[in-house]
Amino acid sequence: MENKNIKILIIDDNQDNIIILQALIEEAFSETSIFQALNGRQGLEMARKEDPDVIFLDIVMPGMDGFEVCRKLKKDNDLGEIPVVFITAFKGDQESRIRALECGAEAFIAKPIDRYELTAQIQTMVKIRTASKYRRDENKRLAELVLKKTQELTIENNARQQSEEQYRLLITQMTQGLAVHEVILDEEENVIDYRFIDVNHGFEELTGLKREDILGKTVLEVLPGTEQSWIKKYGHVAMTGEPLIFENYASDLNKYYEVIAYAPKPQQFATIFTDITKRKQTEQRLKQQNEELIASQRIAHIGTWRLNIATDQVVWTEELYKMYGFDPAQPPPPFSEHKKLFKPESWDQLSAALEAIRTYGIPYELELETIKTDGSNGWMWVRGEAIKDTSGNIIALWGATQDISERKQAEVLLKETEEKYRLLYTAMNQGLALHEIIVDADGQPVDYVFLDINDSYTQLLGVTREMCIGKRITAVMPKVEKYWIDIFGKVALTGEPSYYENYLETTGRYYATYTYSPKKGQFAVLVSDITEQKKYQERLTYMSYHDQLTGLYNRRFFDEELNRRDTTGNLPLTIIMGDINGLKIINDSFGHEVGDDYLKKTAEIIKKVCRAEDIIARLGGDEFAVILPNTDTAEALKIIDQIKAMIAATTVNTIELSVSFGLATKASDPQSVLETVINAENAMYTQKIYEHTSMRSKTIDFIMNALFEKSDRESKHSKRVSAICEAIAAQMGFTKEAVNRIRIAGLVHDIGKIGINEVILNKANSLDHNEWAAIKKHPEAGWRILSTTNEFSEVAEFVLRHHERWDGSGYPQGIKGPEIPIEARIIAVADAYDAMTSERSYKKAFSKEEANNELKRCSGTHFDSEIVDVFVNQVIARS
């Protein structure tokens, strides 16, 4: 383009900046006229005086900043078309760019100014200025001419023909598009559409619509997407005569237009279109480029700075402020303060680099450790370059800075992670080995090589690194099975992990093997010794299927095994059910430890008699069951006889074992195995009816004998009380049967003491509180033992209440008077008398007279007075 006679106005309060910019402009445009202004007010005056083609405007100036100057220029009718280019030291200053565009500026250029960018900007602005001048002059001239001619046509009817011809020539030859419309009204005289009356050639060129296709048609017929808001705006012009000037984007045509609308006559309006699409696209591209540049600096954490050598003034971009923790609204710290932003070692490096670049123009690139205003440390990548004038003198320094703290932290973290995993690899309890698979010509795995192993691997598998590293598995472990090579090969080639548990004969241990592929063609094996875990699982399995007391199978296993054994191959299948007789009495009398011994001894005998293939289970409590496969009834009866024979010859704690048995046999498939179990239970319960009573009676005898063995004193006491009870009952006229019953009650009245420690029973001194509390429980214990048999059930009631008192102060129920059975009242008198007249180490025995007097004293309170009277006056008197 022609660069002559370009007029440029520079408005900047810094004379140095003006000089530099003027030099760059004159170098590119030799015959350009350059005007200077050191403040905004001076710049406005100079613009009005010289009417420049381009204005370069600084942002920060005293009195009136660049934004205010720009707004005043754009509001001025004469100056508003002059392109304004803002100059800033902040290349990434997004906020200033946005404000500049909002003020109406056409462009934005950052320091340091690139010569080629400056040249391109001036050329672009000159084009915009030329086009604006031409458009302004042309639009103004045409608008004035059209208005004038339109008015003349209205006033001067006699010159219509000539005016119409001139008008026709005018509108057909103009480069802008011109269209004349007539509005269409509804019944309420609202504009609802408009019709094309005439269009010029320029309209056809701008819109692509042909004259013959649109004349006489409405806009909604031609452009159906036209919004009602535009119809109303144009209708307002036609109905009121008020002109309208605006810019508009026509979506149907994908173009931007500057539109002037006016009313040549009532209910008509004319529109003059200027295509500004290219200008708008240029503006949008510039705006987008500026936004992308700012965003890229923000995303990349890059800031820039500029140092004026002459003034020692530093200018920072906004991103640089953020990096060092400063407020962008404040000026950057002076160069002398920059030392505080770096660690001493880093500042020494930067100082040396700055000295070299200031003196010789040598660029630098460093990574420095920084100190932010909040005291935190970081890392910055910095690069600096020198800016020289046309004479080669260094006039400024320019630099870029990028925050690389995250990268540095990542490097440190990576190093720590590598060290951590190295230690983890070497110190982990699991064995870890890395291998590379070897394949044949068909790609099938045939072997693999040891690449690395950790210490735990050597310890777990009994190998050394020297034995393994670099060697094939077939060389290290010649007996390795082929399927392991196939499994590991699949992992290495497909990436699919695998998990296996296996037993290694060479070590006699169980291992869990997890295999995965860290990269194609390789696989890692993580080996854990799970021997103890396996043993624990086996123990859990054993416990889940076995009775913990006897070691026999439990009910769960019995039920599962019963279903499993219910097959034709096991027929005839016989079930034996067994139930211990009198176990509750034994538990109540001797404690659960003796009862447990009873159960274990029974289990031991059954197990000893039964065969290896038989399933023996404790179903719970005192019940046992045996599954006998391929066993008929006759053979099963023989087994029961053997068990009974061994039981009969066995005692536990001087008590004979007693177990009732029953059996049932499934001889054919149609029979239900569950029904067989039920039949065996019924047979066992039938047998138990016959054996139950006699066994329990025997048990009572065993208990009494055991009690007498524990304490000779108790033995003698029980016999004397029995004799006294018999004498009182006979004297009171009881029947022979009743006398015998109370004699027995007197003999067993202290049977509940079987569960009391014999140290307490035989204690020479008086009992303490706890010992006495234990003694007081024996009536209830005796009642529980005796009530288990029909033979002793009535006697049990006498034993329970023999420590009750006539006045209700006794135990365990606290009943009184006649509520207490007479047999219990007799036992109470007999028991008390024998206790008083018996020698104790801690007390002297009462004489008969003393004992009688004590009974009389307590008669009517502790004892039944009638019974005391019979005993003292009749039984004792006659003895």
User: Which pair of tokens denotes residue 870?
Assistant: 């019979």
Question: Alpha helix (H) ranges present in 732-816?
Answer: 736-748, 758-761, 769-775, 778-786, 793-800
Please, are residues 676 and 631 in contact by the beta-carbon 8 Å criterion?
no
Q: Which residues pair with 256 in a beta bridge?
A: 249
DSSP state of 845: P
Closest CA to 56 of 95, 110, 2, 102: 110
CA distance 779 to 815: 14
Separation in Å, CA 271 to CA 25, 182, 205, 233, 300 = 41, 11, 15, 12, 49
Q: Mark residue 566 as left, alpha or beta (left: phi above 0; alpha: psi -120 to 50; beta: remaining).
A: beta
Separation in Å, CA 365 to CA 350, 351, 402, 715 = 9, 12, 11, 111
For residue 112, say if its preceding peptide bond is cis, omega within 30 degrees of 0: yes
Closest CA to 829 of 874, 783, 779, 869: 869
CA distance 194 to 307: 63
Please, are residues 62 and 151 in contact by the beta-carbon 8 Å criterion?
no
Please, are residues 261 and 269 in contact by the beta-carbon 8 Å criterion?
yes
CA distance 363 to 357: 6
For residue 812, say if its preceding peptide bond is cis, omega within 30 degrees of 0: yes
Question: Alpha helix (H) ranges present in 566-711?
Answer: 583-590, 592-609, 633-648, 673-710
Question: CB under 8 Å to 290, separation ≥6 — which residues?
Answer: 94, 97, 108
Element containing residue 541 per DSSP (H, E): helix 531-545
CA distance 91 to 109: 8
User: Which pair of tokens denotes residue 347?
Assistant: 């500042």
Could you identify the residue written with the tokens 């007789």? Answer: 581
pLDDT at 1: 41
pTM over 0.85: no
Closest CA to 598 of 651, 636, 634, 641: 651
CA distance 90 to 293: 12
Phi, psi angles (nearest 5°) of residue 463: -125, 175
Please, are residues 265 and 153 in contact by the beta-carbon 8 Å criterion?
no
| Spans of the chain, pLDDT less than 50 | 1-2, 158, 163
Q: Mark residue 629 as left, alpha or beta (left: phi above 0; alpha: psi -120 to 50; beta: remaining).
A: beta
